[in-house]
Chain A
Amino acid sequence: MSAQPPPSIRQLIRRPLWALIALIILVIATTGLAFVHMGPMNLVVSLLIAGAKVAIIVVIFMELLKGSGVQILAATVGVFWLTFLFLLAFSDYLSR
């Protein structure tokens, strides 16, 4: 434990800090774009930006890709079933 010197705080926070800067830029972008009239594309753009933010949080802050196989599997299962929920619900609504 003591054989390895701990990393400096600067080294430690570099990745999360870049992630935070990217997230703040995305919040400003999505808020600004919401006031631009794009019709139905407003929703698409705001959800795509939200997806990018979620990806940054999950990969950098939650370090999912550095986790073991079972952790990645457990994390994917929820999204997998959620996809079924959406597909089945909307196969009904969209075909009425």
Chain B
Amino acid sequence: MVAPASAPTTALRVQARPAGFFVDVASVARRAIRQIPREPEAVVPALIVPIFFYVLNIGALSKITHDAAHFSFKSFELPVAVVFAVTGVSRASALVTDIQNGYFDRLMITPVRRLPLLLGLMTADLTLVMALAVPVVIVGLALGVRFHGGVLGIVVFVVLSGIWGLVFTGLPYAIALKTGNPGAVNASFILFFPITFLSTTFVAKPYLQGWLGTVANYNPMTYILQGLRSLIVGGGGVPGPEPAWNAAFLGQAVLAIAAFGAISLSLALLALRGRVRQP
């Protein structure tokens, strides 16, 4: 069990030092990314569910939406599928596990800067959600969906979706850091429903009526879907030809993501500050 006493353990003496902000972020991210394929149960549903609903919705609803010359329901729904894929996927549950089993304390005893403990996880999340968006896009392409601007359009589509997915993680991280409670983190999934469904998920904005139309006007998801749809040929949901790049719609999508992110990431940072303060 025990090494011989003659083992040359004194060969190298090293000096601990702060690793630097970006090294810290990369170290934390590296570990988080490495864990992803080891937890397929956390990733596979995020991959299958959106594709399942996408195919189901366009199969069931295409007929009643009257695909026209400048509109196709499968184009209109592809951004919804990608939002389903990227929203709510985070390492927040893994973070709670770290907090509960004491590994987070082990990290806290090291000289790691505190912000990278969160930013490293978010870097891993961004990588994962962009990777999750790709198969959804491929399914769309296979079904005949076409993007304005070709590959560039696809890249902008995936990046915008990914950044939305990233800013959404602020909420589960805020809850994870504040409560350290796995149940509360799982419950944060409930936020997904009003944000994704009280919007132009199935019907274009001009056709939303009553209170739903009013709520959708204030829901950032409406503008994110609008921006993503503007990248797809025939995905706008309004009659008539669309410009190849709709700067106004894309700008509104970016603003909506930024506004949501300002709130969610502030909450996450406040929760991190509370968590890492010496109690």
Partners in one complex: no
